[in-house]
Amino acid sequence: MGPFRTLYLDMNSFFASVEQQLDPTIRGRPVAITAMENEKGCCVAASYEAKAFGIKTGTSVPDARRLCPGIVFLPSRHRLYVRYNLRVAAVLDRFAELERIRSVDEFQLGLSGEATTLPGARDLVTSLKAAVAAEVGACLRFSAGIGPNHLLAKIAGKLEKPDGCQWLGPENMPDRIAHLALDDLPGISRKMRARLEAAGITTMTRLCQLDPRHARAIWRSVEGERFVRALQGEHIPLLDTQRGGYGNSKVLAPEFRRPQEAYMVSRWLIEKATARLRRDGRTAARFTLQLAPMGAATIAGSIKCAPSQDTLTFMRINRGLWRAAWPKIRHMKLAMIGVNLTEVEMLSNRSGDLLRPLRPGELSRAERASKAADFINARFGAGTISLGLNQPHPGFFERG
């Protein structure tokens, strides 16, 4: 049996577990983490005690309160959860090769030596569970998946929750996952499921037995072939992806849904996105604005520009797009706004400009000013310097 190459760890109710670890008074009680601190918000995470009442991600606060009158609601603190993610990662990396932090609550480890056998991998999982409980917190538990590649290990990690440990390989496939629906697998959306069913692939067994070349045709991409080969147990490494854009979107709190306030939030989102663009030494040549009025279709506008990493350049484009949309939205409330910087390339690859003048890969005067603002904000705190007025909208990813 084996060899096994990958161990996938999925933290159990991670956000709620972190809160329970910090506050002993809510341990063993139903807890829900909310994105907004009001009755119009929804749950972004729930403890297993809350899940027993039918509460899950997306359940509205009123529905959660109706399902479980004694539930404890807490605002999300993403920065706190990231800090705990890094603490868990540090523990894991002492025992095995931490190949990837796949998300704030998922980790991928490479197996070697005795751990490539099933008994060895299980012993490693036991050691990891004990170390995380002792060094990070007894409330922090995870389900583990063992497999010959990242896909089977990830699927195995979802089979027994919470605090489980399962394995998948050619020896127990496809029978071990025959009960799953096609879109239970990571990477298969409802749209892809419909495409598979149209091709006659209606069960997990048929998907696992699919000719990889046929999968490429169904997916209309080589990713279909890679997916099925991994499902069949081949060692298919993850490919490094190239970043295609920098963006931020925000579901607006009620006090920011008027267009006047939402516009100021969009300026704040641009400052955050352009700061990340500069941090990575990149430029963007297209700016897109998305506005989602409540009860109406989303409005989107996009403008191409010279490659830049200057905040004020994208602020001016943003203002123009808002002016164009204003007649449609001026009397409406907005549920969500988003900004996106795309057509990204490295600053070092940018051509020079004889008229400015600007040498290849050189920062413009405005870009140097933006970079100086980044330095001051990094040293003295976010928002110390802003390029004009904006409206911060702290929420899921900012608190903690």
pLDDT digits (tens, 9 = 90+) for 68-118: 999 999 988 888 998 999 999 999 999 998 988 888 899 999 999 999 999
Catalytic-labelled residue, pool 37, 106, 234, 362: 106
Residues 24 and 163 in one domain: yes
**Which band of pLDDT confidence, cut at 50, 70 and 90, is reported for residue 289?**
very high
Instruction: Supply the pLDDT for residue 398.
Output: 46
| Residue 233 within a domain | yes
- Residue 319: Cβ-neighbour burial (10 angstroms; 0-12, 13-18, 19+): middle
Q: Which amino acid is at 93?
A: D
Smallest Cα–Cα separation from 263: which of 394, 396, 391?
391
* 394 compared with 329, residue with greater pLDDT: 329
Measured CA to CA in angstroms, residue 171 lies from 65, 127, 174, 233, 334 at distances of 45, 25, 9, 10, 53
Among the candidates 199, 220, 241, a domain finishes at 241
Confidence of residue 357 (pLDDT cuts 50, 70, 90): confident
Q: Are 335 and 35 in contact (CB under 8 A)?
A: no
Residue 397 lies in a domain: no
User: How distant, in Å, are the alpha carbons of 11, 191, 207 from that of 183?
Assistant: 21, 9, 11
**Nearest-angstrom CA–CA distance, 190 and 104:** 24
Number of domains in the chain: 3
- In a shared domain, residues 4 and 153: yes
Q: Are strands 299-308 and 6-11 parallel, antiparallel or unpaired?
A: unpaired
Does residue 152 register a pLDDT over 80? yes
Contacts for 229-234 with beta carbons within 8 Å, 24 or more apart?
230/149, 230/150, 230/151, 230/152, 231/151, 231/152, 231/173, 231/185, 231/207, 232/170, 232/173, 232/208, 233/148, 233/149, 233/152, 233/169, 233/170, 233/173, 234/148, 234/149
Burial profile 85-122: b = 16 or more Cβ within 10 angstroms, e = fewer? bebbeebbeebbebbebeeebbbbbebeeebbbbebbe
Shared domain check, 11 and 154: yes
Given a cut of 60, whether residue 397 has pLDDT beyond it is no
Q: What is the CATH number of the domain that holds 147?
A: 3.30.70.270
pLDDT of residue 243: 64
Choose one of 170, 205, 230: the last residue of a domain.
170
Question: What integer pLDDT is reported at residue 25 of this predicted model?
Answer: 97
Q: Average pLDDT, whole number, for the chain?
A: 90
CA angle 360, 363, 364 (to 5 degrees): 105
Alpha helices in the chain (DSSP H): 14-22, 48-51, 61-67, 78-95, 118-135, 150-157, 190-198, 204-208, 212-219, 222-231, 259-279, 311-329, 365-380
The verdict on residue 339 lying in a domain is yes
- CATH number for the domain spanning 208: value is 1.10.150.20
- Report helix, strand or coil for 181: coil
Q: Predicted confidence band at 390 (pLDDT cuts at 50, 70, 90)?
A: confident
283 lies in a domain? yes
Q: Tell me, yes or no, if 106 is annotated catalytic.
A: yes
136 burial class (0-12, 13-18, 19+ CB within 10 angstroms)? middle
CATH of the domain at 276: 3.30.1490.100
Q: What is the mean pLDDT of residues 129-155?
A: 97
pTM of the prediction?
0.69
* pLDDT for the residue 255: 84
Domain that holds residue 189: 173-241
Tell me if 393 is assigned to some domain. Answer: no
Q: Decide if 88 is inside a domain.
A: yes
Looking at the fold, whether 231 and 265 belong to one and the same domain comes out as no
